[in-house]
A and B are shown apart, each in its own frame.
Chain A
Amino acid sequence: MKITKIFLIIFVIINFSQSQADEKSEELKNKILKNVRCLICQGQSVYDSESNFASSIKLVVKKKVDDGQSEKQIYKFLKEKYGQWILYEPELTKNSYVLWLLPILLFLFGGAIIYKNLVIKKK
């Protein structure tokens, strides 16, 4: 009877950890698919689209996630095949540095004005 109980507990623990791992890979897969643009659809991510292209990408991403590839590796693969455009989040490249740096510059500029005004007012 005791042995049966121990086996049952081990079985439950293994099943639980398995389902948690499945959940994690499913989460990672969905996260990636939401950041991948469906190139043949109008304004849809691969996650939202049911087109042939999107469903094939879903299968490829699922396989790569199941094979243990990281998010970065999968993005790199997709970028190699389809270019930067396939990703919604642009990377910091020579073409996109203005896009990334402009908000920071604006923030610093605005902050400097506010700081200066406050200091002047205090004085």
Chain B
Amino acid sequence: MKIKIFLFIIILFFIFCFFIFYKGLNNSNIYKPNVEIKKDIPIFIAKDFYLENEVNSEKIFVDSNFYILNIWASWCVPCRKEHSILMELNRNQSIKLIGLNYRDNLNNAKNFISELGNPYSQILIDDDGTIAIEFGAYGVPETFIIDKDKKIIKKFVGPLNNKLLQEIKSFLK
């Protein structure tokens, strides 16, 4: 009788382990960043792209209902692709589009903007990538939608496309 109970417990234990590992195997091991976040934006000081003076973030994120922070670099090929989408977003008066130039050569970045147009109200320089880290970014391109309370309401990892443009527009309504 004792042996039977013992065997039953062992079998039960193995079934339990099997389900745990089976469930674990079904989980994707590809990391998916959390994009539905409502977090405060960090406070930082960055250099202005054109004036090269230091600007406090608290003076940038004012007087608009929505802000879009786009992290870009001239060496980033997908950034070139999404630029037309940013140009279209720029037409929307209710948003302030801010660019964060990530780990870039300033001359190359200026050439990039003069070649493709400037969709941004203001561009900031992040030459060592630390501001992007404060935002929780992985690399370029990445776009954050920020509301008037200075909270990140949505984050897009990777280049924007027409479908995401519609999604952003629905946010801004």
Interface set of A (CB-CB < 8 Å, partner B): 39-40, 52-53, 55-57, 59-60, 63, 80-83, 85, 98
The 5 closest A-B CB pairs, nearest first, are: A56-B129, A81-B136, A60-B133, A56-B133, A60-B130
Q: Which segment of B31-39, B114-122, B165-173 sits at the interface?
A: B31-39
Is the beta-carbon distance between A56 and B132 smaller than 8 angstroms?
yes
Contact among A40, A60, A80, A98 for B139, CB-based, below 8 A: A40
Interface set of B (CB-CB < 8 Å, partner A): 20, 31, 33-34, 39, 102-103, 128-130, 132-136, 138-139
Is the beta-carbon distance between A83 and B34 smaller than 8 angstroms?
yes
CA distance A56 to B33 in the complex (A): 18
Nearest Cβ in chain A — how far from B84, in angstroms?
25
With a CB–CB cut-off of 8 A, which chain A residues contact B33? 39, 82-83
- List 20 A–B pairs whose Cβ atoms lie within 8 Å, in order of A's numbering: A39-B31, A40-B138, A40-B139, A52-B102, A52-B139, A53-B129, A55-B129, A56-B129, A56-B130, A56-B132, A56-B133, A59-B130, A60-B130, A81-B133, A81-B134, A81-B135, A83-B33, A83-B34, A85-B31, A98-B20
Is the beta-carbon distance between B134 and A52 smaller than 8 angstroms?
no
Interface centre among B129, B134, B138 (most CB of A within 10 A): B129
CA distance A63 to B132 in the complex (A): 15
Is the beta-carbon distance between B134 and A60 smaller than 8 angstroms?
yes
CA distance A82 to B31 in the complex (A): 11
Residue of B nearest to A113 (CB): B6
Is the beta-carbon distance between B138 and A59 smaller than 8 angstroms?
no
CA distance A37 to B129 in the complex (A): 17
CA distance A81 to B20 in the complex (A): 29
CA distance A56 to B34 in the complex (A): 20
Nearest Cβ in chain B — how far from A37, in angstroms?
9
Is the beta-carbon distance between B103 and A52 smaller than 8 angstroms?
yes
With a CB–CB cut-off of 8 A, which chain B residues contact A82? 33, 136
With a CB–CB cut-off of 8 A, which chain A residues contact B135? 81
With a CB–CB cut-off of 8 A, which chain B residues contact A52? 102-103, 129, 139
CA distance A47 to B120 in the complex (A): 35
Residue of B nearest to A82 (CB): B136
CA distance A80 to B133 in the complex (A): 11
CA distance A39 to B34 in the complex (A): 13
CA distance A56 to B20 in the complex (A): 37
With a CB–CB cut-off of 8 A, which chain A residues contact B130? 56, 59-60, 63
Nearest Cβ in chain A — how far from B100, in angstroms?
12
With a CB–CB cut-off of 8 A, which chain A residues contact B138? 39-40, 53
CA distance A55 to B173 in the complex (A): 38
CA distance A49 to B31 in the complex (A): 17
